[in-house]
Structure 1
């Protein structure tokens, strides 16, 4: 399924072929049609996340121009464990509101960090109610944003400066720990030492290693 994400970016999600139908080039045809749709939509980049142990699918994606970029780790720990080990600096927070100025700031930050706007994603997340969004503030300076859902999962989270990764993630972990969720989790890019160091210091466990692939 192709989700028309930010302009010029297409995200491929939930591709599945029934085991009794595999080996008939169905997956290959699905990818071809999806890429054709992306091209007609004007997307210049295609991305997906797959299981790192799914080598067959990775080969299929590579043949269609999506190459491995970096690992993504799904980390998790009990709420009690996180609370017991969580120390260090964190940021002030205020709730994200679906105001034009807020959405514009979020879009500008994502443009700077990711190269694409995610304004409609933010509008959906803020209005949906499944997750709560927060501004991250370093004094009077806006440093980024974070979302935490009722199940204790963190994300998306983004900051405008590399040094802000650890305190921003620590802030999100505090927010998740304040919920009634029994476990706290997050998806972390393997390219971010600060994020991995922060969670490993809390003895969070890697539940599932995944892989980001893109064109």
Structure 2
């Protein structure tokens, strides 16, 4: 299946040149409820769950994708107000998991436990894939990756996952307001330029969506 990663122009071009995506660290994500969405009454339990999250933060990270690229909110929020780029990847569905959106925070009893001591790795995975339904517009799929050797960039440590058979680049979709040229995309793709499709997007004429611009002459 195809899923889509939204980036600003600078980081999209870098991803194409380096043939890899940056792995997001768990405690740096933009939702404070990530991985700690359980409704817990006790301070001790809340602290323990945060410690579990902190441990995961040190060992693993995620790459977030969306199941659709046509939603203008995704372009506005994650592609620099439509000035960015969406990268389409063919993924193994077993490698990237569908996020479940809920209106209420789950309780321990919903997981079949009375105390936090009984929580299992399967429960942790379930929490990793549970988000408040206000985020449902993202239609997110998540891949979990071990943090291997990091790189120091701009004073911080960053981790990357290379393109692969399980995360294979298939399309480059240039946003309606993006200034990047067709030649720049081709140069960044290098050896992939012959097998990866690239095109420019535009606002739909009839509905509230972002669609492919069929006028190829618009994008030089």
After TM superposition, the score normalised by the length of structure 2 is 0.23
